[in-house]
Amino acid sequence: MGAPIVVHRPAPGTGGRAVTINGGLAGLAHSDRDLIDFLRQAGVYDAEHLLDDPTWIEWRDGRAHCYEAQ
């Protein structure tokens, strides 16, 4: 089974990345701060320490921590 949190590819044009947690849409993140906020709302209180942990977060189709459209 993959990571429970997926940060999807940056949206074309506007940027931002969809974030899903256990398959449900959490929101559109435009920064690590947005991502941390989504994770905290989902009950992950040490979220800032998990951003580079591949067992928790999968960064798809783009560099980690990059939210701009290519």
pLDDT in tens, 4-41: 999 999 999 888 999 999 999 999 999 999 999 999 99
- Pairs from 60-65 (Cβ < 8 Å, separation ≥ 24): 60/6, 60/7, 60/8, 60/9, 61/8, 61/9, 62/9, 62/10, 62/17, 64/7, 65/32
Segment 54-59 mean pLDDT: 96
Residue 55 has pLDDT above 70, yes or no: yes
Within a domain: 68: no
Q: Are the beta carbons of 47 and 36 closer than 8 angstroms?
A: yes
Q: Which residue range forms the structural domain that includes residue 45?
A: 5-59
Within a domain: 48: yes
Within a domain: 14: yes
Q: How many domains does the structure of the chain reveal? A: 1
Segment 56-66 mean pLDDT: 95
Nearest to 29 by CA among 52, 59, 4: 59
The DSSP H or E segment spanning 43 is: none
